[in-house]
């Protein structure tokens, strides 16, 4: 079965640089979620998109932005990177309109800011 695909799996950046993470949801899923997980922390909700429109916003810094494209893939753009941005970034997708709305997570992208 197709899963949520995230790229890149690992990314190393310097402070003040920019990073872009990509997420390809499960086919026909209508909602994408982005989560940030720091070392030893629980995943924190950043932002979500339903049918390519932003549906909810969590604790996402102003330096971060995200969008969902016509093919339903999503990108998380992070600028002016700080050391504290080092974390695992997970994308999840779900089919909200199915009623079951089970979130399936990707394997994550590990960002290291030096």
Partner 1 sequence: QQQVKQSPQSLIVQKGGISIINCAYENTAFDYFPWYQQFPGKGPALLIAIRPDVSEKKEGRFTISFNKSAKQFSLHIMDSQPGDSATYFCAARNQQGGTSYGKLTFGQGTILTVHP
* Token pair listed for 32: 């994408």
Nearest approach, Cβ of residue 58 and partner 1 (Å) = 7
Nearest approach, Cβ of residue 23 and partner 1 (Å) = 11
Nearest approach, Cβ of residue 74 and partner 1 (Å) = 14
- The DSSP secondary structure of the chain, one letter per residue, reads ----EEE-SEEEE-TT--EEEEEEPPTT--EEEEEEE-TT---EEEEEEETTEEEEE-S--TTEEEEE-TTS-EEEEE-S--GGG-EEEEEEEE-GGGS----EE---EEEEE-
Asked whether the beta carbons of 17 and 81 are under 8 A apart, the reply is yes
Residue (73 or 79) nearer to partner 1, CB: 73
Residue (85 or 109) nearer to partner 1, CB: 109
Residue ranges that bind partner 1, judged by CB under 8 A: 4, 31, 33, 40-45, 48, 50, 55-56, 58, 90, 92, 94, 96, 101-108, 110
Residue (14 or 100) nearer to partner 1, CB: 100
Residue (13 or 45) nearer to partner 1, CB: 45
Nearest approach, Cβ of residue 81 and partner 1 (Å) = 21
């Amino acid at each position: 079965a197709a899963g949520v695909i995230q790229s890149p799996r690992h990314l190393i950046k310097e402070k003040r640089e920019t990073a872009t993470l990509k997420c390809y949801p499960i086919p026909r899923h209508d909602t994408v979620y982005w989560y940030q997980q720091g070392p030893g922390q629980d995943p924190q909700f950043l932002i979500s998109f339903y049918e390519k429109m932003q549906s909810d916003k969590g604790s996402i810094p102003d330096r971060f932005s995200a969008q969902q494209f016509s093919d339903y893939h999503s990108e998380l753009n992070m600028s002016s990177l700080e050391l504290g941005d080092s974390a695992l970034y997970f994308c999840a997708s779900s089919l909200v309109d199915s009623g079951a709305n089970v979130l399936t997570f990707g394997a994550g992208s590990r960002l290291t800011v030096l």
